């Protein structure tokens, strides 16, 4: 009989408990597909006495999760602790240095330390797998690394944070404001008590940096991701977008551009206006979706649950099945030494259309000042809408959509208006997602 693959679970939250349930419920199916049984032998978490809804009595308990990989009864450690540093990173380093494989759902750790861990794994000839770190149960990393491996990926983008997508699609459906819908999302468990990591775009930026490295063979560069979240969006923005034929979604986007014989990497997380007829416009609730455009495959769309016990546990166990089959590979498709260090690409010369929203004082000349700044910056206005004065603030909403042009021109117009007494707050600029 083939020896089982013995795993240790570091972290027993929602996903850790889900991994136990999945491994137990589908044990025979998993063994057939993996070619050997996959069994949990060791578990560990911060609180030994917490009720997690699963029977932990069959498993050894390890108080020190950092040393799980050094145990003789463990072949693979599944790290589900979370956090870019601290115990999670120590556990990952110790596991790989002990010659054991590591599976993780920790996008923050991979975004910040993935190159270091991948280099260690390659040197030790062990697997480092992190399918569950990006888009939950959607096998997008495997798709890019294997299914689309013959393609030069031209662009990768998508909806990478379920919390933000739930908030935006609910605002769209109900007409309610950001704060009210955020509170509802927290009550339903879609948003954390401190939601900043999600609503400010950091979570999506972590995931985007990982996808970009795999898609373009570039070194991870999370620090270069231009990031803005959804906190400034209002119900009026959602309604105005709808009137213009768009929905608003938080989009992470990465592509490359040639510059003086080398490639530069563009990475940005920002709310976009998405046309009604685009596939991402129909992604509602806490769902994730990723689009990859290959030079031979064309547009590939991957959509599904981006978080939650079942989908994320499914991605973790899929990685374990690969390891049980003896698949090691290189974590980022090519060896770390061959990943290209791409300089960041600025947004200035990118061509596109934009939605710009101003909140202005209700007085003569305010609109003329805005249009003059647009003219002086070389921004061509496609449409302009002025809403009446809001009863509670006296502010007037002016929204416009630009013709296609360089993003630098819009930035210049905003600069020209900086400090204007006509503006009650900084303008909100959202790009319009093109084909």
| Catalytic residue list | 207
Q: How far apart are CA 416 and CA 205, in angstroms?
A: 29
Q: Are 35 and 29 in contact (CB under 8 A)?
A: no
Q: Are 432 and 371 in contact (CB under 8 A)?
A: no
DSSP run (H or E) holding 302: strand 298-305
* Helices marked H in 258-417: 309-324, 366-377, 407-417
CB neighbourhood size of 59 (10 A) = 18
Q: Are 151 and 297 in contact (CB under 8 A)?
A: yes
For 86-102, give the DSSP string: HHHHHHHHHHHHTT-EE
Beta-carbon contacts of 280 under 8 Å, excluding residues fewer than 6 positions away, are 158, 159, 249, 251, 274, 289, 291, 433
Question: Which residue from 167, 169, 181, 134 is spatially nearest to 283, judged by alpha carbons?
Answer: 169
Q: How far apart are CA 355 and CA 84, in angstroms?
A: 35
Question: Which residue from 202, 239, 209, 204 is spatially nearest to 224, judged by alpha carbons?
Answer: 209
State residue 88 phi and psi, 5-degree precision.
Answer: -60, -50
């Amino acid at each position: 009989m083939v020896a089982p693959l013995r795993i240790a679970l570091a972290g027993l939250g929602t996903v850790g408990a889900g991994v136990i349930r999945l491994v137990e419920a589908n044990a025979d199916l998993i063994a057939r597909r993996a070619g050997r049984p996959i069994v949990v032998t060791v578990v560990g978490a911060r609180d030994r006495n917490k009720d997690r809804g699963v029977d932990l009595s069959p498993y050894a308990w390890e108080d020190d999760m950092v040393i799980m990989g050094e145990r003789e009864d463990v072949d693979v450690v599944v790290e589900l602790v979370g956090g870019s540093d601290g115990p999670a990173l120590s556990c990952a380093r110790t596991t790989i240095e002990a010659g054991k494989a590591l599976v993780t759902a920790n996008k923050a750790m991979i975004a910040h330390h993935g190159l270091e861990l991948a280099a260690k794994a390659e040197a030790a000839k062990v697997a480092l797998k992190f399918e569950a770190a990006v888009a939950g149960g959607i096998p997008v990393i495997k798709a890019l690394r294997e299914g689309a491996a013959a393609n030069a990926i031209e662009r990768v983008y998508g909806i990478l944070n379920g919390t933000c997508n739930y908030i935006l699609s609910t605002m769209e459906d109900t007409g309610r404001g950001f704060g009210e819908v955020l509170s509802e999302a927290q009550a339903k468990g879609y948003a954390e008590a401190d939601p900043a990591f999600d609503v400010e775009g950091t979570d999506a930026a972590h995931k985007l940096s990982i996808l970009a490295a795999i898609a373009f063979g570039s070194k991870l560069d999370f620090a270069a991701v231009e990031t803005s979240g959804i906190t400034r969006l209002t119900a009026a923005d959602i309604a105005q977008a709808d009137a213009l034929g768009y929905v608003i979604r938080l989009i992470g986007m990465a592509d490359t551009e040639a510059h003086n014989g080398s490639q530069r990497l563009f990475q940005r997380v920002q709310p976009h206006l998405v046309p009604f007829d685009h596939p991402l416009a129909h992604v509602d609730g806490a769902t994730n979706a990723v689009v990859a455009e290959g030079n031979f495959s064309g547009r590939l769309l991957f959509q599904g649950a981006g978080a939650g016990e079942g989908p994320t546990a499914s991605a973790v166990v899929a990685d374990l099945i690969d390891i049980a089959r003896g698949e090691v590979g290189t974590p980022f498709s090519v060896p770390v030494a061959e990943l290209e260090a791409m300089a960041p690409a600025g947004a200035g010369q990118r061509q596109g259309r934009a939605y710009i929203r101003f909140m202005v004082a209700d007085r003569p000349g305010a609109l003329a000042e805005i249009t003059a700044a647009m003219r002086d910056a070389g921004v061509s206005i496609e449409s302009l809408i002025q809403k009446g004065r809001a009863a509670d603030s006296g502010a007037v909403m002016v929204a416009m959509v630009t013709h296609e042009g360089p993003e630098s021109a819009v930035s210049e117009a905003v600069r020209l208006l900086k400090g204007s007494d006509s503006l009650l707050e900084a303008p909100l600029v959202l790009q319009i997602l093109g084909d």
